[in-house]
Structure 1
């Protein structure tokens, strides 16, 4: 049954460490990077790679629904952050950095898709 309590628990159990890891990674890399949005970029690309890998592995696993909920939706869903990405783009636009915002948007989308494809390829052929 969709939306059952066990499914919600799997998502929640995955989300807690995913959100914590995102916080730690972004805060760790923030002082080393010229702009805060590169920390968000990094965690989003890592999450895209991992989600591609999970997708490929779940296609051959009998426990794929539980894995997808725990790791895919819970952990990786909270590790990645589209809303922060959107606000960081908005901040660049508000500061008048139109080209920087466009570049960040393009590189984020391309890198995310390439990372997901790489993860999927490794999982499907690994």
Structure 2
């Protein structure tokens, strides 16, 4: 089995539980929030924080992850957290909110996703770099 195929298998194995968890969380939150896209925002922010944390831990050398593209980065980072988050659903959610002329909600959702994602990814990364 060549290296590229092994990498693809690792990503796929990680993606299955990530996508399942996203579906479960979004569907669980649906009756509690006025619109389904708030559940998507939550999983996207969670995935951004967690991926930032994993990469910060890797960068700090305090994690079992090796330098470069390790199997665990492919499994957890690309596979699990990549499928837990969903850019396409975010884009369609913002588009639908704009089409419904809910301008403030669209701005909050778009800015919250992009800026919030950057902030929580940076927080996770910074936490991964700290010493204890």
Q: Same fold (TM over 0.5)?
A: yes
CA deviation map 1:33-53 (0-9, x unaligned): 011110000000000000101
Do residues 103 (structure 1) and 103 (structure 2) align? no
User: Once superposed, which parts of structure 1, at least 4 consecutive aligned residues long, lie more than 4 Å away?
Assistant: none
Structure (1/2) with the larger helix percentage: 1
CA-CA distance at 1:3 after TM superposition: 6.3
Q: Is the CA contact 1:58–1:67 (under 8 Å) kept in the aligned structure 2? A: no
Q: Is the CA contact 1:53–1:120 (under 8 Å) kept in the aligned structure 2? A: yes
Aligned to 2:48: 48
Aligned to 1:57: 57
Aligned pair partner of 2:92 in 87, 90, 96: 87
Do residues 27 (structure 1) and 31 (structure 2) align? no
Do residues 117 (structure 1) and 122 (structure 2) align? yes
SS at match of 1:86: helix
Name the TM-score, length of structure 2 as normaliser.
0.88
CA deviation map 1:12-55 (0-9, x unaligned): 01000000000000000111001111000000000000010111
Name the TM-score, length of structure 1 as normaliser.
0.92
Query: Which deviates further from its counterpart, 50-59 or 17-26?
Result: 50-59
Gaps of 5+ in 2: none
